[in-house]
A and B are shown apart, each in its own frame.
Chain A
Amino acid sequence: MALLEIQALRRRIGGNEVLAGIDLDVEAGEVLALIGRSGSGKSSLLRCIGGLDTADGGRIVVDGIGIGDAARKRDLRERIGMVFQSFNLFPHLSVEGNVTLALRKVRGMAKAEAREIAHAMLEKVGIADKAGAYPRALSGGQMQRVAIARSLALQPRLLLLDEVTSALDPEMVREVQNVLTLLAAEGVTMILVTHEIDFARAASRRVAFLHKGRIGEIGPTKQVLDTPATAELREFLGFRL
């Protein structure tokens, strides 16, 4: 059984089929890159998996738990982490406060234990020296790494990343990508939405190309990116038609 199973997922916004029947499996330990034009439904798909949006039809099962299973909402939450384009750090909390909040309040850990985990995570994303700083004092790349650490601290089985480098200056894109590459090598299961094809190539095992709310193409990264089968993907990738 795959870690994530999606069947016939549909989502409609104001008469517009944003997701028009998505079938997708993601295995544990896999990194899937999600690419596609603006408005193709990438964020919508991620938000449905992350439980921020509700689907109008179909099924999403994570680790054997169906999304919408009210009785297991908490179990599901524990398994899915999400990182946003705009970081969404809590501005009134320090870096450490951001990372320890859920450990303490949701997982019920003692302060010392939570701090230890937070420190390890911040170490992993290379920003342990900023534990006491507030988000406003950090660069975009640093903030995004804190956001990743905040998510990782809860040890999600599945990490969803929506264009996490799109709001960053070029020199900071690399530092965040390096962290993600490290996580991929560690076997963290990730779905990452990205516009950077080179990064998708380097970090993912498979690529899914979303087109008008459907999966237009999916397969091993090299195959999909080097020999696109559809005209839409060829055009998206800038191939000569």
Chain B
Amino acid sequence: MFREFAWLDVISLLRAAQWTILLSLFAFVAGGLVGLAVALARVSRIAALRYAMIGYINLLQGTPFLIQLLVIYFGLTFVGIRLDAWSSAAIALTLYTSAFLGEIWRGCIEGVPTTQWEAAEVLGLSHFQKYLYVILPQALLVSLPATVGFLVQIVKATSLLSVIGFAEIMRIAQTINNVTFQPFIVYGICAVLYFLICLPLSRFSVYLERRLHGVA
């Protein structure tokens, strides 16, 4: 039944890597959009909204991503909601990412000095304009290193999607390993692939950090 590990398998893994990247990008964009809303709600003037977001963030940061994924994929069937792997992955990634990015950005929004709000106030900017033109640009700039750094976490988190059958790197690696039984080679290549995806991101994050401190 076993066969040799072949070059073809490397190609399969590279194809799977495309999925890993695509899923990561999706998580970043969708989670980023929701995360921005989470961050804004978290610093909202409406107390109920703030508390709701504290709950949301704590819930998602306080449980493993794998559990969240399984609850959404399998757990929801108990309440009559059947989601396919795609929808489950999309929802789980978005929730997870939004909680973390929301919390990172909340900190950066709150880090903008009160005096910036006051300067914007005396110029007559509306609440919305203060956010749009004064607070968010500064907060997002400061958040860049941490944001890009978190991208690395997302990439690694996508490996867990293999449990619901997604054909990303880990899933393909498992199937190849099942027929070749050469885990060292197969998972070694996986590790290299993840490393090659994550290294530029973490280097970029460090670079941004240095630049930011250089100019601030």
Q: In the complex, which of the residues A52, A78, A84, A92 contacts B124, with contact meaning CB atoms closer than 8 Å? A: A78
Q: Say yes or no: is A199 at the interface (Cβ < 8 Å to chain B).
A: no
A213 located at the interface, meaning its Cβ lies under 8 Å from any Cβ of chain B in the complex: no
Interface of B is mostly: helix
**Neighbouring A residues of B77 by C-beta, 8 Å:** none
Q: Contacts A106-B124, A154-B124 given: A84-B118 contact, CB under 8 Å?
A: yes
Is A91 interfacial (CB-CB < 8 Å)? yes
Residue B86 CB within 8 A of the other chain: no
How many angstroms from the CA of A46 to the CA of B124 in the assembled complex?
17
Which B residues between 125 and 150 are near A, CB-CB below 8 angstroms?
Answer: 125, 129, 133-134, 137-138, 141
A76 (CB) vs chain B CBs: closest residue:
B124
Are A102 and B123 in touch, CB under 8 angstroms? yes
Cβ contact within 8 Å between B138 and A154? no
CB-based contact B134/A90 at 8 Å = yes
A101 touches B123 (CB 8 A): yes
If A92-B137, A92-B138 touch, whether A77 touches B215 (CB-CB below 8 Å) is: no
**What 0/1 pattern do residues 78 to 90 of B give for CB contact below 8 A with A?**
0000000000000
Q: Cβ of B46 < 8 Å from any Cβ of A?
A: no
Residue of B nearest to A102 (CB): B123
Q: How far, in Å, is A214 (CB) from chain B's closest CB?
A: 25
Q: Smallest distance from the beta carbon of B184 to chain A beta carbons, Å?
A: 50
Interface string of A15-52 (1 = CB under 8 A from B): 00000000000000000000000000000000000111
Say yes or no: A105 contacts B118, CB within 8 Å: no
Q: What is the interface of chain B, defined by CB distance below 8 A to chain A?
A: 115-116, 118-125, 129, 133-134, 137-138, 141, 215-216
Known contacts A52-B121, A92-B138, A102-B123; 18 additional CB pairs below 8 A are: A50-B122, A52-B122, A77-B122, A80-B122, A82-B122, A84-B119, A86-B115, A89-B119, A90-B134, A90-B138, A92-B137, A101-B125, A101-B134, A105-B125, A106-B129, A151-B122, A151-B123, A154-B123
